[in-house]
Each structure stands twice: as C-alpha cells, then as structure tokens.
Amino acid sequence: MVFGIVYGATATGNVSLVAEKRANHLSDQMIKELRLNNYQSNKVRAINLDVAAQITEIEQKFEGNEQLIAEKCKDVLAVRDLAFEDVLSTVQYNDYFGDRKMYSKVDREFMANLSEQGTQNLASNENASENNVN
C-alpha cells in the first residue's frame, strides 16, 4: 500500500512528478539538517532527484518483491553516498552518513503519506463522480 501512489501514478504518467516530490522533500530535510549552502543545495537536489527516479522505477518494476527492491535500492543508495561525499564537507558528510537511516525513514513516511493522499483523492474523485451521475 505504501507504494500504491507510485504505481497509480505510473498508470497516468506521473512517475517523474512523484520522484520530484520525493526528492524535494528529502532534499529540503537535508538542506535544513546539514545546513547546506546554495551550491550544495542545488547539487543535493540533483542527486536526490536522480536517486528518487531510480528508486521509484525499481519499486514499480519489482512490485511485491520487497527483498529484491531493497537489494536494488541499496546499490542506488551506495552510489548516492559516493556522490554526496564529493559535495558535502567532511563534517556534513559524517552527519549525513550517521543519519542515513533517519533519512530513509523520512522518505518512507513521505511516500506513505503521499500514498494515503492519493487514496483519499481517488475516493473523493469517485464520490464526486457518483454525485455527478445522480
């Protein structure tokens, strides 16, 4: 259910929109927590957008196989760690590296909320359609 919005968005061609929202949410959190400057903020946003697009695609492609999703995402996140190492200061990177689980949790919660909103919007749209028919 957590990834329901992702799969529903795929059907309508909005996967890139979901990935963008996902990346921006995580980037905003990182910018605030790590106190990034403008250059770092732009780089982190670009990296997170690329990673969010890849992860969203993996989740869509391997829907229902959580073990394979986790394995594939682990590889993508390892590449992100290397990219961040080139952008962040040593202190910022150490803070980021120590908080990776927290950032993963923030991402999962965001996707769960997005999925819940999508389900509520779908229900609202169905109710509106039923009211228009009556």
* Higher local confidence (pLDDT), 100 or 129: 100
pLDDT, residue 32, reads: 97
pLDDT digits (tens, 9 = 90+) for 68-95: 999 999 999 999 999 999 999 999 999 9
Lookup result for tokens 């329901």: 4
pLDDT, residue 15, reads: 75
pLDDT, residue 118, reads: 67
d(CA 125, CA 78): 40
**Would you state the structure tokens that stand for residue 84, as one six-digit string?**
């961040």
pTM score of the predicted model = 0.77
Alpha-carbon torsion angle 106, 116, 57, 69, nearest 10: 70
**Would you state the structure tokens that stand for residue 35, as one six-digit string?**
């106190």
pLDDT digits (tens, 9 = 90+) for 12-60: 456 788 899 999 999 999 999 999 999 999 999 999 999 999 999 998 8
When pLDDT is averaged across residues 109-128 and rounded to a whole number, the result is: 67
When pLDDT is averaged across residues 56-68 and rounded to a whole number, the result is: 91
